[in-house]
Amino acid sequence: MAHYPFTDRPDLLVLTCTHVLEGADITMVCHHFNDNTWEFVCDGQHTEEEAIVLSIGELCETDPSLHLVCDLPVGAAATRKSRAHAWQFGRIGGEDYYPAADSRMP
Ligand SMILES: [Zn+2]
């Protein structure tokens, strides 16, 4: 198996969208406080039908740059314009926030 940077199990199920499966760049990653879920989506508009669940290990194989967001604290989000741009880090509005010990967050 390819290098797997996330501390969660590689078979951890995360939310993503059908566009990402079809090759769209992931432009937003959220680590939600409420239920500890991860969300990896493109910048498109999403309907319920376009929301899918995939293992985090599979996503990492599709997009190796996801290792740059693997230490995202609970309550934080990372966004970027495209796969060619750097990740920008911030907090998710309205959610509590637990910074990681060696977090890159401001
Ligand atoms: Zn999408």
Total-model pTM: 0.86
| Distance in Å, CA 43 to ligand 1 centroid | 6
Distance 102 CA to ligand 1 centre (A): 30
Q: What residues does each domain of the chain span?
A: 13-104
> What does each of the 106 residues of the chain score in pLDDT, given as a tens digit?
456 788 778 899 999 999 999 999 999 999 998 888 999 999 999 999 999 999 999 999 889 899 899 889 899 999 999 999 999 999 998 888 876 544 555 4
Look up residue 84 and give its two tokens. Answer: 């060619």
CB 15 within 8 A of CB 74: no
Residue whose entry in the numeric block shows the structure tokens 């508009």: 45
66: how many CB neighbours lie within 10 A of its CB?
A: 20
